[in-house]
Structure 1
Amino acid sequence: MAIHTSRRAALGLMGAALPVAASRAQSAFPERPITVIVPFAPGGSPDIAARLMAPRMAELLGRPVNVDNRPGAGSTIGSRAVMQAQPDGHTIMMAPISFLTAPLTMDPPPFDTSASFRVISHIATVPYILVVRNDFPARDMAEFHHYVAANPGRLNYGSSGNGTPLHLGGEMYRMMTGADIVHVAYRGSGPAIAALMGGQVQMVFADLPGAGAQMRAGTIRPLASLVQSRIPGYPDVPTMAESDQRLAEYEVYTWVMLVAPKATPDAVVNRLNEVALAAARAPEIAPRLAELGFAPIHSNPADGDAFLAREQAKWGALIRSAGIRSTF
């Protein structure tokens, strides 16, 4: 009887130790530096958000947080790097909407985004705009539509890459108006804006944070907002939808969210969510994000996952109905 009691006591002690060990393992995160992959070249919305938030996240986590740009193939190179990483929270991604849309334009899709990733937090939404150089002949959208129609096949538009919403924005404009404009893909909105300034393209469908610096410098100018309402910081810039009745349903936007491989444990995801939101809400960071055009969302992981699934269904249906395909 004493032996049985001793065994029960030992088993009880072992059982009690298991939660303690698990707690210690969770509290040990992170064990090494965190890498935040950005699937585009420097200068666009995900890069800006990651670089603004990383120093504060590092302070809160007690480990370095390094931003690593992995551009190419419409964001799928960076996405694959995160998918193939150990699902332990040490390799995550600041993902724009392109990590969802680009695979949907490929036949067959290389991966199912919502099945391959889990959301740490949907950080913010970001409006898109149509920008041109200051010397572009059209001064407003009425003149723009006329100029494009009068120059079929002679105007190029730049985007952040094949399969990105900036590419889709140009294709939607082309399909809705019958415009004959030529797509030129770059490895991010930063290189696309540089090409616009250099005269390699005549227009860019751009994200507001990526184009903002050159707009403020006066080297490029916005012609239209690509979302359904005017942008608060640019109330005099009309929407694409209000510029022409053919474009009444036109809307293109992006967002940024921190994501991790699907098998990343809940405790790690929740810790990263806590740290990411603290960074995004920090008094030295939140006003800067707002100034650049980021509209805060700050979701929890479950709401982020649900939003990602809805977005995949929405954009998948649009891409299929429009017959948009990308090759890389």
Structure 2
Amino acid sequence: MKKSLWLFSFFVLILAILPCPAQSAPAYPTKPIEMIIGFGPGGAADVTARLVAGYVSKKWGQPINVINMPGASGIIGTRHTLTAKPDGYTLMMDNHAVSAMLAASQIDLPFKWENRTVIARVTVDPVFYLVKQDSPWKDLKEVAENIRKNPKVFRWGVAGVTAVGAFAMPQFLEVNNLPFDSLNRVVFKSGAEVVTALAGGHIDLAAQQYSEVTGLILAKKVRGLAVVNPERLPGLPDVPPAKEVGYPNLNVYGWQGVSGPPQLPPEVVDKWAKS
């Protein structure tokens, strides 16, 4: 009896000191995810983020909350994302304006712009050169000649100093041998605000992305003079490619993608990349 009791106690002790079988962590994601946008609502990054969030939320059964953090040409939202905990629950809708174009236009950034985990590019967004629907200018050549004759009269809109228009419009001036200060620049918080201002006659010219301008072109509120794309786009066949109207060297375009803080776990990156 004593021997049996001793053996039972021995086995209980052994079981107590043995490590428990490892339990696998629950699969990511287990809670809502924040998708940060460095610009206001309605712009290209915002539109893309909401489409991605809707699709992924439904597929994964977890909310993807799109949060707009406009300010400082996208710096505020980008800094929030890149300094967040790298657990996959704070990501951003990355784009040209908060990556390469940001680095090209800003010297003293409060973070290292290249220190991010790039997950995937989602869209390529062609740039349209636009005027108001009832504008007297019928093509880009006419616009260039009128700027030459009337410098500092034209107003052009841009969604911050790192936005696609901040590079596309100076390139247009350069290829026409026009000085940069030929136009009066008006800065807005988002691409949606730019095209709305154009439709309302508050500015004369803009260079914005397909995702921002399509609705107003189809509604005949603004008119596309050219698109930076190898061929005409199926939904907007009346807008010629820039090369068709004598501007083959116009090559600025936008893009959007998903990125996160540096050192995101590989399983998080893989989950997003495969979705």
Could you say whether these structures have the same fold, taking a TM-score greater than 0.5 normalized by the shorter chain as the test?
Answer: yes
Give the TM bin, normalised by the shorter chain.
0.7 to 0.9
The letter of the residue matching 2:131 is V
Distance 1:218 1:236, change over 3 A: closer
Provide the C-alpha distance between the structure 2 equivalents of 1:131 and 1:139, rounded to a whole number of angstroms: 10
Hey, what does 1:201 align to over in structure 2? 203
- Aligned residue runs from structure 1 range 162-181, under 5 A: 162-179=161-178, 180-181=182-183
**How many equivalent residue pairs?**
257
Hey, what does 1:274 align to over in structure 2? 274
The question of 1:250 aligning with 2:250 is answered yes
The letter of the residue matching 1:181 is L
Hey, what does 1:234 align to over in structure 2? 236
User: How far did 1:99 drift?
Assistant: 1.0
User: How far did 1:267 drift?
Assistant: 0.8
Provide the C-alpha distance between the structure 2 equivalents of 1:119 and 1:63, rounded to a whole number of angstroms: 22
The letter of the residue matching 1:190 is A
Deviations 1:62-110 (A, max 9, x none): 2211111111222111111101211101111111211111232112344
Does the 8 A contact of 2:160 with 2:166 survive in 1?
Answer: yes
Hey, what does 2:144 align to over in structure 1? 145
C-alpha RMSD over aligned residues: 2.2
Does the 8 A contact of 1:128 with 1:206 survive in 2?
Answer: yes
More helix by share: 1
Does the 8 A contact of 1:166 with 1:205 survive in 2?
Answer: yes
The letter of the residue matching 1:193 is V
Greater gyration radius: 2
TM-score, L = length of structure 1: 0.72
Does the 8 A contact of 2:74 with 2:98 survive in 1?
Answer: yes
Provide the C-alpha distance between the structure 2 equivalents of 1:242 and 1:181, rounded to a whole number of angstroms: 25
Does the 8 A contact of 2:124 with 2:256 survive in 1?
Answer: yes
The letter of the residue matching 2:64 is V
Provide the C-alpha distance between the structure 2 equivalents of 1:235 and 1:255, rounded to a whole number of angstroms: 21
Does the 8 A contact of 2:132 with 2:222 survive in 1?
Answer: yes
The question of 1:154 aligning with 2:156 is answered no
Does the 8 A contact of 1:44 with 1:190 survive in 2?
Answer: yes
Provide the C-alpha distance between the structure 2 equivalents of 1:229 and 1:170, rounded to a whole number of angstroms: 20
Provide the C-alpha distance between the structure 2 equivalents of 1:210 and 1:203, rounded to a whole number of angstroms: 15
Hey, what does 2:262 align to over in structure 1? 262
List alignment gaps of at least 5 residues for structure 2. 1-10
Deviations 1:10-54 (A, max 9, x none): 9xx75x95xx54xx22x3422321111111111122211111221
Hey, what does 1:102 align to over in structure 2? 102
Provide the C-alpha distance between the structure 2 equivalents of 1:248 and 1:254, rounded to a whole number of angstroms: 17
User: How far did 1:228 drift?
Assistant: 4.5
Hey, what does 1:113 align to over in structure 2? 113
Instruction: Indicate the SS of the match to 1:113.
Output: coil
User: How far did 1:199 drift?
Assistant: 2.1
Deviations 1:128-162 (A, max 9, x none): 10111112110122322222222211001111211
Hey, what does 1:131 align to over in structure 2? 130
Does the 8 A contact of 1:39 with 1:79 survive in 2?
Answer: yes
User: How far did 1:239 drift?
Assistant: 2.8
Hey, what does 1:280 align to over in structure 2? none
Deviations 1:233-275 (A, max 9, x none): 333322334433xx43221111110111111111112112233
Distance 1:151 1:241, change over 3 A: farther
Provide the C-alpha distance between the structure 1 equivalents of 2:126 and 2:74, rounded to a whole number of angstroms: 19
Hey, what does 1:314 align to over in structure 2? none
TM-score, L = length of structure 2: 0.85
Does the 8 A contact of 2:98 with 2:162 survive in 1?
Answer: no
Provide the C-alpha distance between the structure 2 equivalents of 1:62 and 1:228, rounded to a whole number of angstroms: 39
Identity of counterpart residues, as a percentage? 28
Instruction: Indicate the SS of the match to 1:31.
Output: coil
